[in-house]
Amino acid sequence: MNKILNLLSAKGIKCFKTERFNLDHKFLEKYEDEGEVFDTNIVFENEHKSGQFIKIDREFKDSFFRYFLDGSRYTYKIADMETTDGKYLPIVAGQVATGVTTRDGEKIRKHVLKNKNLLLVSDRTNQDDLAEIKEEVKQFPRLLIHIETYNSKRDSSSRPENLAIARIQKIMMDMEIDILSEIARSRTLRPDAMLIIDGSLQFIDKGDDRLFANVVGLSKSFNPNLQGMLRRKNDEIGIALTKLKYGERTPVYKYPMRDNKRVIGAWYLRIRDENRVRNPLDGIVKLEKIAIDAEEKDNGFESGLIDNISASILAERNVTCYGSDPRWHNHIYPMYLTEKMLKASFLGTEHFLNIF
């Protein structure tokens, strides 16, 4: 062992060599919308109250969206450690990147890009030792490694590797929210220059709601087992979504955030012909928007606004990244290019692992 792991060993943290490998292909993450609870009393828009699917009959050549925000990460197990209370826990490293692209004419270009390299150890590590290690790591500015801890709960049924990954994921999401807040405060977003963030909006836990008036969340994957949105309350949403035709969306469903102060509307839209995908839920995306004012929070969104957003998403679906990404059916092309920008900013795996 060398370099940064030597700093841990010098502080009496016993580290064990192990095979170093990428964790991203070893563990399945939970759905971002795991545990969502919808308000089943109303359809959360003003015109479509029947609960039936809505056909988007507007054909936009140009989209309302101009900015595309995403985050990406690679995680690796690099060693194991012995804690002072006799636990055998992993040391996990990660590369995180978040950024925004913008459409400039017919081109997509970089707007902002931020990276962070991480080393995660158990929170059972002596905090005084950890503080000293963090200071010593600053002597290697070329490496730019941020040392963090993950919560290795004694009563958790999750594998500790998953707990470390969850902490890295949280750091990445916080970076995304910081970028989003910066752009929203810059007043560059408008109804004809909106921003898409890849993923759920439920993690935006700070900032004035009005900052996010022109922000939409797009999830390529979602929990098909959610209940409560359909007429038969025990039916799961996945059953209904298999019946969506190309260009159809569901009504908007309402779910309040945990503090009941922020309200989000969510709907599902099929962006690919159901006869040209492999699986019945392929080609369906989940869209979310934050209710901004009291009128929206109480009565829902203007259906025309939701239709226009949906039509813009349909305009974004081509060009496709078919053959370049296995999730092509749920991708919009600018987000695919944003993701490529992020991944291109990472250090090579061998280079990164040799830092430790």
Query: Taking residues 68-80, what's their average pLDDT?
Result: 95
CB of 141 within 8 A of CB of 115? no
Q: Does residue 190 carry a pLDDT above 80?
A: yes
Q: Which sign does the torsion angle of CA 68, 310, 261, 295 carry? A: positive
Q: Determine, yes or no, domain membership for 336.
A: no
Please state, in angstroms and rounded to a whole number, the distance separating the CA atoms of residues 351 and 348: 5
Please state, in angstroms and rounded to a whole number, the distance separating the CA atoms of residues 55 and 307: 9
HSE-up (13 A, CA, CB side) for residue 169: 14
Q: Determine, yes or no, domain membership for 245.
A: yes
Neighbours of 49 (CB within 10 A): 12
Q: Determine, yes or no, domain membership for 231.
A: yes
pLDDT level of residue 32 (50, 70, 90 thresholds)? low
pLDDT of residue 209: 86
Q: Determine, yes or no, domain membership for 283.
A: yes
pLDDT level of residue 232 (50, 70, 90 thresholds)? low
Query: Taking residues 110-124, what's their average pLDDT?
Result: 94
Point out the least confidently predicted range of 94-98, 135-139, 149-153, 251-255. Answer: 135-139
CB of 11 within 8 A of CB of 133? yes
Contacts by residues 223-229 (CB-CB < 8 Å, ≥ 24 positions apart): 223/31, 223/33, 223/34, 223/36, 224/281, 226/33, 226/36, 226/38, 228/37, 228/38, 228/40, 229/38, 229/40, 229/253
325 three-class SS: coil
Point out the least confidently predicted range of 100-109, 233-242, 254-263, 347-356. Answer: 254-263
HSE-up (13 A, CA, CB side) for residue 270: 24
Q: What is the CA radius of gyration of the chain?
A: 22
Q: Determine, yes or no, domain membership for 14.
A: no
Beta-bridge partner residues of 8: none
Looking at per-residue pLDDT, the higher value among 272 and 321 belongs to: 272
Q: Does residue 72 carry a pLDDT above 80?
A: yes
Q: Determine, yes or no, domain membership for 170.
A: no
CB of 78 within 8 A of CB of 64? no
Q: Does residue 49 carry a pLDDT above 70?
A: no
Cα 323–chain centre separation: 23
Neighbours of 227 (CB within 10 A): 14
Please state, in angstroms and rounded to a whole number, the distance separating the CA atoms of residues 241 and 248: 10
Q: Determine, yes or no, domain membership for 324.
A: no
Query: Taking residues 71-76, what's their average pLDDT?
Result: 95
Q: Does residue 155 carry a pLDDT above 60?
A: no
pLDDT of residue 41: 60
- Identity (one letter) of the amino acid at 346? F
Phi-psi region of 48 (alpha: psi -120 to 50; beta: other; left: phi over 0): beta
Query: Taking residues 212-238, what's their average pLDDT?
Result: 81
108 three-class SS: strand
Domain span at residue 260? 31-64+191-317
- Of 113, 94, 244, 84, the C-alpha closest to 175 is 113
Q: Give me the number of domains the chain comprises.
A: 1
Q: Does residue 1 carry a pLDDT above 50?
A: no
Q: Determine, yes or no, domain membership for 123.
A: no
Q: Which residues touch 205 (CB under 8 Å, ≥6 apart)?
A: 177
